[in-house]
A and B are shown apart, each in its own frame.
Chain A
Amino acid sequence: MDHEEITPLMMEALDGSLAEDRQHELEAHLNSCESCAREWQAIQAIHQLFLQAPILSPAAGFTTRTLARLPNRRMRIFVTSAIYGLLLVSGVVPLAIFIWLAVQFAPALKQPAFVGGIMQAGDQVLELALAAVGACWQGLGTIGELLGQQPAILGWLFVMIGVVFLWGGVYSQLTRQQRI
């Protein structure tokens, strides 16, 4: 039996679940292997030490101190329920209005000209959006040209970003310590 096979036997022996025949195998190996025997002795000593270790208790008044820090659960339940209620109302009310409007204007919606008008308005909105994107892209190109001419601006940009992260980290540490 090699050393790696001994490990599960030792574990089962510590748990008190080692079968008798395996117990004999373990003992036979320990009798023939000095290093495993020394290790087993040390592990047993550790095991006994930990079995005798007591459960520690906090200082008196722990319950009172902890209760004083508990947030108000009933208020939290009430606020959470109120928020869910408002969300529900905010979804149901517009839906009800939409259905009412649809019913009121159903005859008009059946007119082809009405639907065509909506499609035309949609096309115009899309054209405006594409024009806005094109203008932004052109603006980026202008900025790129400027940076190419004045590379120092890029350096200052990185410095400012670094300063923002630095102060953000300081703020984060200060607020974290306050919470602790």
Chain B
Amino acid sequence: MRYQGSADETVWLAEARRGSKEAFGELINAYQSPVFNLAYRMLGNADEAEQAAQEAFIRAWTRLDSYDPAHKFSTWLLSITSNYCIDQLRKRRAHLLSIEGPLPPHPALMSENTDGPEEQATATERQESVQQLLNTLPDDYKQAVVLRYWYDMSYEEIAEVMETSVSAIKSRLFRARRQMAEVGTEEGFIPQLEQAAVV
């Protein structure tokens, strides 16, 4: 899943810089899913993810003058989103709010496809496992995992977003995978995951 800039995007950006909300609306339409997905995977809550996604777009709108066209707009926007989510996670810990127990699944995880109920239940359970595993990770590990798996970013791009080195990203990704594998094994996910992966 790779987000490529388009010629339209260049036009929208230019118009948005001149203050056109209609043009910025086109950008929101194009990027609402990746931005929301990143926020949901980081925060684990649909309401907070919607607020975070809106805030990310608002920040992008107010900082359009600082956007460097030499870099991809998607990378810049996702960087704003992930940094905001990291701040929210820190505030959440500071206010002693914690997400305990299984989270209610995002409505989109409730399958809209035409699979039978058994397949839908398996898919939902699998996706709930994804979010539960993500929630066991430290914030910086989680950020690296989300950017790698959902946005297919290279190590260099992730390092740029997270303002760290490529070697640090590789280390975080492997430790994250190892940690989730341990949790998955302890919680009994792994046999189910292997079975579901084969399906």
Q: Is A138 engaged at the interface, CB distance under 8 Å to the other chain?
A: no
B180 at the interface (CB under 8 A from A): yes
Number of interface residues of B (CB under 8 A): 53
Q: Is the interface of B mostly helix, strand, loop or mixed?
A: helix
Q: Does A48 contact B (CB under 8 A)?
A: yes
Min distance, Cβ B27 to any Cβ of chain A, angstroms = 9
Nearest 10 A-B pairs (CB), nearest first?
A: A74-B19, A42-B181, A48-B197, A45-B193, A73-B19, A58-B36, A50-B149, A57-B33, A63-B28, A55-B37
A55 touches which of B1, B49, B173, B190 (Cβ 8 Å): B1
**What residues on A are CB-neighbors of B129 within 8 Å?**
49
Interface bits B1-30 vs A (CB < 8 Å: 1, else 0): 100000000000000101101001100110
Does A113 count as interface, using CB distance less than 8 angstroms? no
- For A10, list chain B residues within 8 Å (CB): 174
> Once the chains bind, are A49 and B193 in contact (CB under 8 Å)?
yes
A39 to B179, CA, bound (A): 10
Say whether A49 contacts B109, CB under 8 Å.
no
Confirm or deny: B57 has a beta carbon within 8 angstroms of a beta carbon on chain A. Answer: yes
Taking CB atoms, residues of chain A closer than 8 Å to B193 are 45-46, 48-49
Q: Which of B158-190 contact A (CB under 8 A)?
A: 170, 173-174, 177-178, 180-182, 184-185, 190
B130 is an interface residue with CB less than 8 A from chain A: yes
Query: Beyond A42-B181, A50-B149, A74-B18: 6 further Cβ-contacts under 8 Å?
Result: A46-B133, A46-B180, A48-B197, A49-B133, A54-B127, A59-B50
B103 at the interface (CB under 8 A from A): no
Chain B residues whose CB sits within 8 angstroms of the CB of A38 once the complex forms: 185
Which residue of A has the minimal Cβ distance to B95?
Answer: A173
Stretch at the interface among A19-27, A64-72, A147-155, A161-169: A64-72
- Interchain CB contact under 8 A, A67 and B130: no
Q: Knowing A45-B197, A48-B197 touch, does A66 contact B174 (C-beta < 8 A)?
A: no
Give the docked Cα–Cα distance between A77 and B129 (Å).
47
The answer to whether residues A42 and B190 also contact, given A10-B174, A59-B107 and a CB cut-off of 8 A, is yes
Q: Is B62 an interface residue (CB 8 A)?
A: yes
A-contact bits for B118-132, CB 8 A (1 contact / 0 none): 000000001101100
Residues of A within 8 A of B133 (CB): 46, 49
**In the complex, A14→B129 CA distance in Å?**
20
User: With a CB–CB cut-off of 8 A, which chain B residues contact A69?
Assistant: 54, 58
Asked if B33 and A58 make an inter-chain contact with CB atoms under 8 angstroms apart, the answer reads: yes
Closest Cβ–Cβ distance, residue A41 to chain B (whole Å): 7
- Give the interface SS of chain A, mostly helix, strand, loop or mixed: helix
Judge if B196 is at the interface, Cβ distance under 8 Å. yes
**A120 at interface by CB-CB < 8 Å:** no
B106 touches A (CB below 8 Å):
yes
Candidates B28, B49, B108, B170; contact of A54 at CB < 8 Å: B108
A93 proximal to B (CB < 8 A): no
| Residues of chain A from 69 to 127 with CB closer than 8 A to chain B in the complex | 69-74, 76-77
| Interchain CB contact under 8 A, B21 and A70 | yes
A53→B33 CA distance, assembly (Å): 14
B84 within 8 Å of A (CB atoms):
no
Indicate whether A46 sits within 8 Å of B50 (C-beta atoms), given known contacts A52-B126, A56-B37, A58-B33. Answer: no
Query: Judging by beta carbons under 8 Å apart, are B197 and A49 in contact?
Result: yes
**B127/A43 in contact, CB under 8 A:** no
- Interface residue A62 (Cβ < 8 Å from any Cβ of B): yes
User: Who on chain B is nearest to A39 by CB?
Assistant: B181
Q: Is B78 an interface residue, CB under 8 A from the partner?
A: no
Q: Are B149 and A73 in contact (CB under 8 A)?
A: no
